[in-house]
Structure 1
Amino acid sequence: MSTHSWYYVVDGARAGPVEESEITRLIDAGTVTAQTLVWREGLDGWVAASEHFAMSGAMSTPGAPPPMPTPAAPQAAIPRSHPGVQQALYDGAPARGFGEAINVCLNKYVDFKGRASRSEFWYFILFTFILGIATSLLDVMLFPNNAMSPLNSLVSLAVFLPGLAVAMRRLHDTNRSGWWIGGFYLGLIAYVVFIGVATGVSPYSEPSGGMLGLMGAGGLAALGFAIALLVFYCQRGDPGPNHYG
């Protein structure tokens, strides 16, 4: 989106983008008034049109110079400043097609900054899923006696980092830290180490009831965390700027 493109609010709905000349025409036509909310990239939130445009008619004195724009008061990010205003997808995390999402994610192979829309994230997940099925079938045909599944293992390793990166960018799009994923992996590693130590002490003895309870509690915690991440990935991103872009 051009930094000169504007959005404005009519009857509670967002319209645009339009060029500055079109806003001026709408002011002359009376569609945009001094109190009409407007926004463009670079502003922290919606502001009154009179703060950026000279108003004609009853809103200004004929022959007088245009009023000086007043600085916009600090506001929250756009989607929270006026909850009743309909918002479109934020340009910082645009919707992607299947091929475009794959291309973007592979080009941002280890880029953990910025934001990713739902379509970008889920299309890449679909791509890795299809790739996994295809390589598993090839492993069965080419290496029938190899339990390691070499092709599938190599491909899974190759797409791990871009998958992790787009997952973090997806969390950023919902205004959440990527450490939600880091915490999940750290907790999973700690759980695996704990189980390994506990079973390694006496590998041939039956685990006690307390040990089974701890193992079950850890498994439920990991499942709950995974479900929470899934919900975050499915949520709509912020339509305006947030802490991550």
Structure 2
Amino acid sequence: MSFMEAVKTCFSKYVTFSGRARRSEYWYFTLFNFLVGIVLGIVDGVISGGDPDSVGIFGTIYSLAVFLPGLAVAIRRLHDTDRSGWWYLLVFIPIIGWIVLLVFFCTNGTEGENRFGHDPKHENEADVFS
């Protein structure tokens, strides 16, 4: 999956928590949000004149806009590793929970169909054979 394809997929599945997401889809969307966050942080800094007490309005609005797509793609990524989306609650455990989630997000997805749906790597093949 290409960078732009992954970003488009995540925004088109804005609140789709079912199904599975490939590793590339999750990480490209994360990279996209990181890069946009840097740009918006610079813009907010320029607008505020470098005032450290000001609230970055553009960064805040963007963060709110991508909260649900980010959560949805993370849950779909967990589904690809054959884990329930409830595992995402590990994010509330400082450091250890984050490390566990990082390992989950970096591991390969299950091959073939699992309880959460078709393998997204071979999604077109599943349509041909069904």
- Normalising by the smaller structure, the TM-score range is 0.7 to 0.9
**Residue 46 (structure 2) aligns with:** 141
Q: Which has the larger radius of gyration?
A: 1
More strand by share: 1
Q: TM-score, normalised by structure 1?
A: 0.46
**Aligned pair 1:158/2:65, yes or no?**
yes
Higher relative CO (Cα under 8 Å, sequence separation at least 6) belongs to 2
Aligned-pair distance for 1:157?
A: 1.0
Aligned-pair distance for 1:238?
A: 1.0
**Residue 12 (structure 2) aligns with:** 107
**Aligned pair 1:240/2:112, yes or no?**
yes
**Aligned pair 1:175/2:47, yes or no?**
no
Q: Deviations over 1:89-144 (max 9, x none)?
A: xxxxxxx1000000000000111000000000000000000000000000011122
Aligned-pair distance for 1:184?
A: 2.6
How far apart in 1 are the matches of 2:41 and 2:97? 28
Q: Deviations over 1:194-229 (max 9, x none)?
A: xxxxxxxxxxxxxxxxxxxxxxxxxxx521111000
**Residue 121 (structure 2) aligns with:** none
Unaligned ranges ≥5, structure 2: 118-130
How far apart in 1 are the matches of 2:115 and 2:82? 6
User: Which structure 2 residues correspond to residues 30-179 of structure 1 after superposition, within 5 A?
Assistant: 96-144=1-49, 145=51, 147-179=54-86
Q: TM-score, normalised by structure 2?
A: 0.84
Q: Provide the aligned length of Structure 1 versus Structure 2.
A: 115
More helix by share: 2
Aligned residues with identical type, % of pairs: 49
* AA matched with 1:178: G
How far apart in 1 are the matches of 2:77 and 2:56? 30
* AA matched with 2:84: S
How far apart in 1 are the matches of 2:67 and 2:33? 9
Secondary structure of 2:32's partner? helix
How far apart in 1 are the matches of 2:48 and 2:3? 31
**Residue 57 (structure 1) aligns with:** none
**Residue 90 (structure 2) aligns with:** 184
How well do the aligned residues superpose, as a CA RMSD in angstroms?
1.2
Contact 2:90–2:101 (CA under 8 A) maintained in structure 1: no
